[in-house]
Amino acid sequence: MPISFANRDLINIEDFTNQEIEAVFSLADEMAGSLREQSDVCRGMIMASLFFESSTRTRLSFEAAMNRLGGRVISVVEMGNTSLAKGESIADMARVVGSYADIIVIRHPWEGAAKVVADYADVPVINAGDGGHEHPTQTLCDLYTLKKERQTLEGLKIALWGDLKYGRTVHSLAYALARFGATIHFRPGPGLELPEHVVRKLTTEYAGRLEKYDGVEDVDEKGLFPLDAVYVTPSGPHQLANIPAVGIQIELERGVDALYVTRLQKERLDTGAEGQEVDKSYRVVDKRLLGEKGFEDTIVMHPLPRVDELAYEIDADPRSMYFKQAERGVPIRMALLALLLGAREVDIPEKRGQPFEQERGYPVYRSDTGLRCQNGTCVTSQQTETRYIRPEFQMVSREPLTLRCAYCEHEIHPKYIASSKWHQGIAENKRYYYADSFMLGRIHPENLIIFDSEDDALARGFKLGKRLVHG
């Protein structure tokens, strides 16, 4: 049955189901075969290309894609040239640009900025990278390459290498791989491990099983990785028990399908110590490493740009895929633009059981009490945006109380709670409690008030409740 993607946004990779991703690929295949014959597909339409952070591939491949489809492009390539530099909010910019263009592609250094644009613009919005959060269209290019080189996306074994903390491409890719049932090995640079909220998603929402590596250090000397791994079965959580208990090291010796390398995201490192130290011990992928046992059939991927982490000597190696990955960005983005603009539709096969696509149904907490996301690069933390964004969180765990920011997905663990229905409605009875006391279980989610600090609770007229015992 032909399905329309018209007017949808692509902000997180999870906005598309596995079947929808495969549908984008079939259209990309069709377009790749006749790139120069697509010039009527989006004729008369305008794409706004808003790049507030540096970019070569992503911006140019989006612009090339729209041009090949016969559409037009209006663009901004620097924040300094826009009214954002005058203190305009992202919401206002989104409303206006949405009235000039038929689709918006945005890259911005603040996590969650693309979501704000999508919330306020009346046209489809594509996230071309929001800070260290996500980069879903790079993931489409990455998966497309994996599909071409490995013929399937199901049950792959991938090693993610480098800056797993700030590398937004890695976050989107890890979620997508997990959804297709992958084994993912992590080989972070020092101090650049996958963020806590990403690991939580992989292990709870995708029911991945996290295994911590407990091998000896000299394994690394041979070019193998001391790393952790997440295993997800393609068939879903209920079959987790069927995973054979193979050690991580044995798995690696059997080889991985792909090594996905990323550059150190210097621009996102905390200033000071973090940057200096990490740089020195960042592992380079070179001929010697690829000569190790287990890498015979491993393809090497990289979203580019590379700095020092990929030696030029491996460029000619048939396993090196990074330039092909970039080249495939144009047909992928052509397919995506044509679909979201409603200029093309695609057939999606009958839905097979996809256990990971169920609604997650976390209670949503909207904060009116001053509770905020603690991530300094979240869009909700910015002075220009706090005027209108009401912080929103998903309650992903009650023990310990864990709230996930709906914009950047970073987590907070607030310590104090109260109920908005205090006893007999008498102000004297307004009490707050520790979030790890049993009172959390007593308060209905819709009456729950969560505080950043005791001062916050006191300022709102609450007094410390009697039932205070932790746990």
129 binds ligand NCD (CB under 6 A): yes
Q: And the tokens for 178?
A: 């997990």
Of the candidates 8, 57, 324, 372, which one interacts with ligand NCD according to CB under 6 A? 57
Order of strands, sheet of 46-51, starting from the edge strand that comes earlier in the sequence: 72-76, 46-51, 103-108, 125-130
Residues 153-182 close enough to bind ligand NCD by CB under 6 A: 168-169
Task: Pick the closer one to ligand NCD by CB: 135 or 344.
Answer: 135
Pick the piece of the chain touching ligand NCD (CB under 6 A) from 176-184, 224-232, 300-308, 406-414. Answer: 300-308
61 is a site residue for ligand NCD (CB under 6 A): no
Give the range of 110-118, 297-305, 398-406, 418-426 binding ligand NCD by CB under 6 A: 297-305
**Residues 341-370 as x/- pattern, contact with ligand NCD by CB under 6 A:** ------------------------------
**Quick check: 466 and 437 in contact, CB under 8 A?**
no
Q: In what order do the strands lie in the sheet with 258-261?
A: 209-211, 228-231, 183-188, 157-162, 258-261, 299-301
Residue nearest to ligand NCD (CB): 303
Provide φ and ψ at 72, rounded to 5°. Answer: -120, 160
Contact pattern for ligand NCD over residues 364 through 403, marking x by CB under 6 A: ----------------------------------------
Name the pairing type of β-strands 448-451 and 431-434: unpaired
Stretch that binds ligand NCD, among 97-105, 181-189, 217-225, 299-307 (CB under 6 A): 299-307
263 binds ligand NCD (CB under 6 A): yes
Structural tokens at position 129? 């990278």
Residue 151 region, left (φ>0) first, then alpha (ψ -120 to 50), else beta?
left
User: Which of 223, 149, 208, 145 has the alpha carbon at shortest distance from 174?
Assistant: 208
C-alpha span between 129 and 49 (Å, rounded): 12
**Number of residues this chain uses to bind ligand NCD (CB under 6 A):** 12
Q: How far is the CB of 57 from ligand NCD (least distance, A)?
A: 5
Q: How far is the CB of 305 from ligand NCD (least distance, A)?
A: 6
- Of residues 302 through 341, those in contact with ligand NCD by CB under 6 A are 303-305
**Shortest Cβ distance from residue 377 to ligand NCD (Å)?**
14
Stretch that binds ligand NCD, among 67-75, 274-282, 301-309, 453-461 (CB under 6 A): 301-309
Order of all β-strands in the sheet with 431-434? 448-451, 416-419, 431-434, 463-464
CA–CA distance, 192 with 195 (Å, rounded to integer): 8
Q: In terms of CB distance, is 135 or 187 closer to ligand NCD? A: 135
CB of 56 to ligand NCD, least distance (A): 8
Instruction: List the x/- string, 15-54, binding to ligand NCD by CB under 6 A.
Output: ----------------------------------------
In the list 138, 320, 380, 402, the residue contacting ligand NCD (rule: CB under 6 A) is 138
In terms of DSSP H, where are the helices of 188-328?
196-200, 218-221, 248-253, 273-280, 287-290, 322-327
Rounded least distance, CB 263 to ligand NCD, Å: 4
Residue type, 5: F
The whole-angstrom separation of Cα 380 and Cα 136 is 21
Residue 100 beta carbon to ligand NCD: minimum distance, rounded to whole angstroms: 25
Report the nearest approach of ligand NCD to the CB of residue 373 (Å).
21
The answer to the question of residue 127 lying near ligand NCD (CB under 6 A) is: no
Which residues does 232 contact at the CB level (< 8 Å), separation at least 6? 177, 178, 179, 181, 182, 183, 184, 202, 206, 207, 208, 209
For 1, 13, 65, 128, 271, the CA distances from 41, given in Å and listed in that order, are: 20, 25, 11, 22, 46
- Interface residue list for ligand NCD (CB under 6 A): 57-58, 129, 135, 138, 168-169, 262-263, 303-305
